[in-house]
């Protein structure tokens, strides 16, 4: 139990450090002195929220859950019920990652096929919205 607690505390510390690094840049790109909010800032904020979730929150949480599943495997001691729970956690993590990143891949592929960057003028890609 002491090892599990230590492992969780280490991953929690890493998780907090990632959040603090993202918080310094801010999710809302406007509202300061001399920078009034416009409609385009709404799209930039949405993009930053999606990036925050997909690049900052999901990977550490998935790694933490993989560690928990591994600890559950090692502490099962041959008990079929405990091994089944560990396999269930592992399957859920992998399935969740496939859903999260697979959905982005499908949407990105669809937008590339229909040519969103040509008819919107977003040469960098549909996921990078410029705002002056």
Q: What is the pLDDT of residues 90-109, one digit of tens each?
A: 999 999 999 989 988 898 78
Residue-wise pLDDT for 3-31, tens only, equals 766 776 666 666 555 555 445 556 676 77
Residue-wise pLDDT for 68-85, tens only, equals 888 888 888 888 898 999
Per-position b or e across 6-45, b if 16+ CB within 10 A of its CB:
eeeeebeeebeebeeeeeeeeeebeeeeeeeeeeebeebb
Instruction: Report the predicted TM-score, pTM, of the whole model to 2 decimal places.
Output: 0.66
């Amino acid at each position: 139990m002491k090892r599990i607690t230590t492992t969780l505390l280490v991953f929690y510390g890493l998780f907090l450090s990632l959040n603090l690094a993202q918080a310094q840049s801010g999710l809302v790109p406007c509202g300061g002195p001399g920078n009034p909010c416009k409609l385009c800032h709404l799209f930039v904020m949405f993009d930053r929220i999606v990036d925050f979730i997909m690049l900052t929150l999901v990977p550490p949480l998935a790694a933490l859950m993989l560690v928990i599943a591994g600890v559950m495997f090692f502490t099962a001691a041959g008990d079929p019920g405990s091994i089944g729970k560990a396999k269930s956690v592992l399957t859920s993590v992998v399935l969740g990652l496939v859903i999260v990143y697979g959905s982005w891949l499908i949407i990105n592929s669809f937008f590339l096929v229909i040519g969103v960057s040509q008819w919107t003028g977003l040469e960098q890609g549909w996921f990078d919205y410029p705002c002056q």
